[in-house]
Amino acid sequence: MSGLLGLSWRLLRGGGRSGLLGAGLTAAAVAVSAALLLFAVSANLAFQGRADREAWRNPVEARTGAVAVEAVRRDYVRDRPITVVDLAALEPGASPPPGLDRFPAPGEVWFSPALAELARELPDGQLADRFPGKTGGVIGDEGLVHPGELLVVRGQEPDSPVMAATATDDPRGGAAPTKISDFTGKATSDAEGYQALALIATVLMVVPLLVFGGAAARLTVARRDQRLAALRLVGATPGQVVAMTVAEAVITAFGGALAGTVLYGLLIPVLTRIEIAGGSWFASDMWPGVPYTLAVLAAVPLLVGLSAVVGLRRVVVSPLGVAKRETPPAMRFVRVLALLAALAAVPALGAGTAAGVVAVVLGLAFLAINLTGPWVVGMIGRITARTARGPARLLAGRRLVDDPKAAWRTVSGVALTGFVAGFIGFLSPAGGLFGDADATTLRLSVPAARAPQLTAEARERLSAAGVPARVEVTGGGGRRVLTVAVGKAAGDEAGDGKAAGKDKDEEKAAREGASASGRSVEGSASAAAVDRARTALDGLVPGRGATTAADEEVFSVLLLGDIGTGTVVVLTVSFLVAIVSAGITAASSVLDRRQTYALLRLAGTPLEVLDRARRAETLIPLAVMGGGSIAVGVFCAVPFAFSSVNVSGMVILLVCVVLGFAGVTGAGAASAPLLRSVTADPAPRPD
Amino acid sequence: MNAVLEGYDLVKRFGAAVALAGVGLAVGRGEAVAIMGPSGSGKSTLLHCLAGIMKPDAGEVRLLGQRVDTMRERERSALRRTRFGFVFQFGQLLPELPAEENVALPLMLGGVPRGDAVRRAREWFGPLGLGGMEERRPGELSGGQAQRVAIARALVTRPAVVFADEPTGALDQATGHDTMRLLVEATRGNEASLVVVTHDPQVARWCDRTVEVRDGRILSGEVRDGHAPGGPYPGHGSGEAVTRVFPGVSR
Ligand SMILES: Nc1ncnc2c1ncn2[C@@H]1O[C@H](COP(=O)(O)OP(=O)(O)O)[C@@H](O)[C@H]1O
Ligand SMILES: [Mg+2]
């Protein structure tokens, strides 16, 4: 075996300049694949990590052996949520939650680093006053979802009124006081939702990656076909031929995978800055850990090796391995029927359809485009060839007809990205859908019986804090809602016109800001005033904070923002893969056909014609299939669309189209010098 | 002599190796010249210098009196495209193009509209014994047929000189002879000159003249007299070829 390995190594090195270049291209492709694969793995682990770190704040009721009571609620400062955790020990020596080195004593307050900093920055009356008490310490990373998270943990007596608060209606609003036996908790449904989205994104990224890696491996093998067929002719056994080629592919791939790991390592600092769910990532989130890294390092060369074996079957079966070039049978129309069938199911979908069904239909449409691609490429090849007037178009068209699958491989990445872009671009909700909610009217649910008393107290607290506001009680039944319109003229109320001087300045600034941003001046109040009101009202109803409609939307806004971020990330990865694969395919096709190209050049064919042909060969199918995929993506999105016209979605689409064309053109152009150099040889010979 | 192509004192070195050590050669109008010699003697290098593929280190190349070796690459490329035809050992046909389009390609590169180019290309198939193969692709042709398509491609632009470097080197002897005979006849019928590198003395006999190259020098230049362009040639037993009409003549 070591003899074989040695021979493989010599085969690899003996391939000459272009052989090494081919191996280099494979290694580069594998490196990009490995880096992105590591990213995909890490992304899932990172969301898992967030879910795990957040779980302790989603308490699970302990039937027996309760050691503590935990209550969680959301508070807000500016437009950011704060998680407020109140803990009361039922037994001495209860183990502390993650990130705290001891169980907080009653009256103690623990801040996350970001909240501590914010509390220092903002005037006390806006934030710090909500959390009076002795500072117990800083919450460590193990207890934080993300580095910028605003989290406060307060120690309480078990009989404190806070620990007897009732649950809010919104599950995101927190958890009512719950007896717990430990801080295991369970993942929140939001965290699980993010994990599901991450998984979908991973599928969108990994499928093209695997296809790409496999294609790269087969390209190397294709170039070796002739040499290996020669080896077979001189009597090498199929086993030996396979072993040598696979060894060669695996050596190359392993080198590439190592390089990819290093590349990924270098990218971690950039990747941690991607904000999801309102926060960036710990570096440790993005590091998949040794076992997963080793798994990727082992799996990638293995897959490349497998792919090489598949590619080699032909050579091994027949010593005259080099396939005869004949007119390939036309692609079956069935491929198109598959797409039509998948699309036929789309109108049946709607906002109410189960997510699983939607995913399946989308997946099928995605696959069907991939299946239809070669058929369409073959067809546009025939049209291009038939209608071509000049030589470049003719060459391009014939090339497309000759091997539509290869041509499709070159552009499939970008075209499939078009599907994703079309779908998301059309779906991504218009900016106006959320974020316009009233951010100045605070609402607080109160027991009906205590409403008058609490209203009076609220007015008192607000005027003491110097916040002009109109306080009203609305609603009926057992619970009433106290509405506090911050900045509104309070009419006959006590706070009328009594705003403190500093408030007037603040309000003036706010009004100017608001009119600058085109919002209605009427009734607007500065975020600072709202935060002062929140702070003033804190503790009015134990365990409840006053929230605005905008606060309650924060998570929806964040989620939409995250979908946007996710889109950008997935599209970036797709484009990277697509463009690298277009570049590699272009370079390989130059290497594969260098004898013919060189002879054409000797016979006086201008290289520009060859370049133009190569460009047309990718751009024509890209235009047709990219456009087609976008259309299919949009079609799939129609049943779910909230709004008809959507600027940001269209911008995404436009950027994708421009990037796709520029990238593929650039990738092809990158191999033009290669074409020049390989055709400069006046005595070209096949490998 | 009415020389179409002339090379004087051609010298070409590759590093320390001297591939051509001062070679002179003149090719007359419609003349077929065979270049023979052992492997590595400089035959291909000579052909490449004459055809404007390579620049000689010293010496001159003239086509109809015009210097070729001093032209820039772009001009030489245009010259090769329009005034020269090439037949290589193999691999010059684009595998995805049907035979007729492979032949039409040089015309299209020269700006001939596609319909015209293909029609003119098709005229070559019958005389070259390729009738019915117009739409086959190179992979569906035998080696000999593929070389005949290459011959058609070399001649379709009505070049002044056709260069062939061991054009039958990859064929068996019988097919090689047939192909070579067609090459000689077709070039002659087209009033083009032919410079062909060959190992086969039989092939050389069909040409007007054989030039023997050794170590980058010309040993002997044996002129075979009495064969006007287009006329019968020795060693060519059958009269069949003479009756063929090649497209170039008909125009
Ligand atoms: N591109 C090149 N680089 C280096 N040496 C070359 C090159 N082309 C030809 N030679 C050398 O020049 C000499 C003549 O080569 P060539 O003209 O190809 O010979 P022939 O065609 O007669 O077999 C040989 O010694 C060959 O090694
Ligand atoms: Mg030679």
User: Using CB atoms, which residue from B86, B97, B137 is nearest to A603?
Assistant: B86
Residue A345 lies in a domain: no
Chain A: nearest CA to B153, how far in angstroms?
10
Mean pLDDT of chain B: 86
Best CA proximity match to B88, nearest among B167, B33, B156? B167
Same domain, A502 and A542: yes
Residue A584 lies in a domain: yes
Please tell me the predicted confidence (pLDDT) of residue A497. 40
**Between chains, do B95 and A325 touch, taking CB under 8 Å as contact?**
yes
3-state secondary structure of B10: strand
Domain-terminating residue out of A185, A206, A234: A185
Best CA proximity match to B147, nearest among B170, B117, B118, B115? B170
DSSP assignment of A479-541, as one string?
Answer: EEEEEEEETS--TTSTTTT---HHHHHHHHHHHHHHHHTT---TT---HHHHHHHHHHHTTSS
Q: How many CA atoms lie within 13 A of A69 on its CB side?
A: 18
The full length of chain B comes to 251
Whole-number Å distance between alpha carbons of A76 and A256: 48
**Between chains, do A324 and B140 touch, taking CB under 8 Å as contact?**
yes
Sheet holding A441-447, edge to edge: A469-474, A479-486, A441-447, A547-548
CB A21 within 8 A of CB A180: no
Same domain, A599 and A568: yes
Same domain, A513 and A600: no
Please tell me the predicted confidence (pLDDT) of residue A329. 59
- At what angle are helices A16-55 and A238-271 packed, to 10 degrees? 50
Chain B: nearest CA to A387, how far in angstroms?
10
Please tell me the predicted confidence (pLDDT) of residue A348. 76
CA geometry: angle at B91 spanning B86 and B97, to 5°? 90
| Max CA pair span of chain A | 104
Give the pair of three-digit tokens for residue A473: 């009680």
Residue A370 lies in a domain: no
Please tell me the predicted confidence (pLDDT) of residue A599. 82
Same domain, A202 and A301: yes
Question: In Å, what is the CA distance from A264 to each residue of A258, A287, B102?
Answer: 10, 9, 47
**Between chains, do B96 and A389 touch, taking CB under 8 Å as contact?**
no
User: Using CB atoms, which residue from A399, A603, A609 is nearest to B96?
Assistant: A399
- CB neighbourhood size of A628 (10 A): 20
Residue A426 lies in a domain: yes
Best CA proximity match to A395, nearest among B114, B94, B59, B129? B94
Please tell me the predicted confidence (pLDDT) of residue B159. 95
Please tell me the predicted confidence (pLDDT) of residue A294. 95
Kindly state the average pLDDT of the residues A588-604: 80
Please tell me the predicted confidence (pLDDT) of residue A328. 53
Please tell me the predicted confidence (pLDDT) of residue A314. 53
Question: In Å, what is the CA distance from B80 to each residue of A580, B19, B49, B53, B157?
Answer: 36, 22, 12, 8, 11
Residue A365 lies in a domain: no
Give the phi and the psi of residue B27 in degrees, each rounded to 5.
-115, 125
Same domain, A603 and A619: yes
Ion ligand 2 neighbours (CB, 5 A) are B 44
Give the pair of three-digit tokens for residue A242: 């396979």
* Per-residue confidence band for A428, with pLDDT thresholds at 50, 70 and 90: low
The whole model's pTM is what?
0.71
A60, pLDDT greater than 80: yes
CB A425 within 8 A of CB A649: yes
Residues forming beta bridges with residue A154, ordered by sequence position = A86, A109
Same domain, A71 and A165: yes
Residues forming beta bridges with residue A113, ordered by sequence position = none
Give all domains of chain B, ordered by start, each with its CATH number. Answer: 3-250 (3.40.50.300)
- Condensed to tens digits (0 to 9), the pLDDT of residues A247-256 reads 888 888 899 9
Please tell me the predicted confidence (pLDDT) of residue B234. 32
Please tell me the predicted confidence (pLDDT) of residue A343. 83
Q: Over pLDDT 90: what percentage of chain A?
A: 23
Please tell me the predicted confidence (pLDDT) of residue A347. 78
Pick from A503-512, B155-164, B192-201: least confident: A503-512
Strand A134-138 with B3-14, pairing: unpaired
Whole-number Å distance between alpha carbons of A178 and A477: 26
Same domain, A422 and A570: yes
- Condensed to tens digits (0 to 9), the pLDDT of residues A634-643 reads 888 787 766 5
Q: Which chain A residues in 399-418 lie under 8 Å from chain B, judged by CB atoms?
A: 399, 401-403
Whole-number Å distance between alpha carbons of B150 and A555: 70
Whole-number Å distance between alpha carbons of A585 and A578: 10
Residue A296 lies in a domain: yes
Give the phi and the psi of residue B238 in degrees, each rounded to 5.
-95, 145
DSSP assignment of B49-97, as one string?
Answer: HHTTSS--SEEEEEETTEE-TTS-HHHHHHHHHHTEEEE-SS--S-TTS
Q: Give, using CA atoms, the residue closest to atom 18 of ligand 1.
A: B44
Please tell me the predicted confidence (pLDDT) of residue A6. 66
> How does DSSP classify residue A178?
E
- CB neighbourhood size of B115 (10 A): 10
Q: Is A640 left (phi over 0), alpha (psi -120 to 50) or beta?
A: alpha
Same domain, A36 and A146: no
Distance A521 CA to ligand 2 centre (A): 87
Q: How many helices (H) and strands (E) does chain A have?
A: 20, 10
Residue type, B173: Q
* Per-residue confidence band for A515, with pLDDT thresholds at 50, 70 and 90: very low
Pick from A13-27, A463-477, A650-664: least confident: A13-27
What CATH number is associated with residue A485?
A: 3.30.70
Domain-terminating residue out of A549, A581, A609: A549
Question: In Å, what is the CA distance from A630 to each residue of A342, A415, A476?
Answer: 15, 8, 50
Same domain, A390 and A251: no
Whole-number Å distance between alpha carbons of A223 and A22: 8
- Condensed to tens digits (0 to 9), the pLDDT of residues B215-250 reads 999 986 555 444 433 433 333 333 334 445 667 544
Per CB-CB distance under 8 Å, the chain B contacts of A398 are 94, 96-98, 101
Residue A332 lies in a domain: no
- Condensed to tens digits (0 to 9), the pLDDT of residues A100-115 reads 999 999 999 999 999 9
Same domain, A179 and A223: no
Please tell me the predicted confidence (pLDDT) of residue A514. 41
- CB neighbourhood size of B125 (10 A): 20
Q: Looking at the complex, does the CB of residue B84 fall below 8 Å from at least one CB of chain A?
A: yes
- Condensed to tens digits (0 to 9), the pLDDT of residues A251-309 reads 888 999 999 999 999 999 999 999 888 899 999 999 999 999 999 999 988 888 887 77
User: Using CB atoms, which residue from B81, B88, B93 is nearest to A604?
Assistant: B81
Give the phi and the psi of residue A455 in degrees, each rounded to 5.
-60, -45
Domain-terminating residue out of A527, A549, A571: A549
Domain count, chain A: 4
Same domain, A31 and A176: no
Whole-number Å distance between alpha carbons of A206 and A170: 36
- For residue B37, give every residue at least 6 positions away whose Cβ sits within 8 Å of its Cβ, in sequence order, or none: B43, B212, B213, B214, B219
CB pairs < 8 Å spanning A and B: 89
CB B195 within 8 A of CB B162: yes
Question: In Å, what is the CA distance from A369 to each residue of A159, A223, A336, A361, A365?
Answer: 62, 29, 8, 12, 6
Whole-number Å distance between alpha carbons of A91 and A675: 77
CB A219 within 8 A of CB A248: no
Q: Which chain B residues in 30-69 lie under 8 Å from chain A, judged by CB atoms?
A: 44, 48, 51, 53-54
Kindly state the average pLDDT of the residues A175-203: 85
User: Using CB atoms, which residue from B77, B86, B105 is nearest to A391?
Assistant: B105
Same domain, A230 and A321: yes
- Range of A405's domain? 380-434+553-687
* Per-residue confidence band for A433, with pLDDT thresholds at 50, 70 and 90: low
Please tell me the predicted confidence (pLDDT) of residue B44. 92
Whole-number Å distance between alpha carbons of A537 and A130: 9
Residue A343 lies in a domain: no
Per CB-CB distance under 8 Å, the chain A contacts of B78 are 604
- Condensed to tens digits (0 to 9), the pLDDT of residues A319-360 reads 443 444 445 556 677 888 888 888 888 777 776 666 667 667
User: Each residue of A510-548: b (16+ CB within 10 Å) or e?
Assistant: bbeebeeeeeeeebbbbbbbbbbbbbbbbbbbebbbbbb
**Atom nearest to B15 CA in ligand 1:** 4
B45 lines ligand 1 (CB under 6 A): yes
Give the pair of three-digit tokens for residue A286: 């993005």
Please tell me the predicted confidence (pLDDT) of residue B120. 95
Please tell me the predicted confidence (pLDDT) of residue B165. 92
B1 lines ligand 1 (CB under 6 A): no
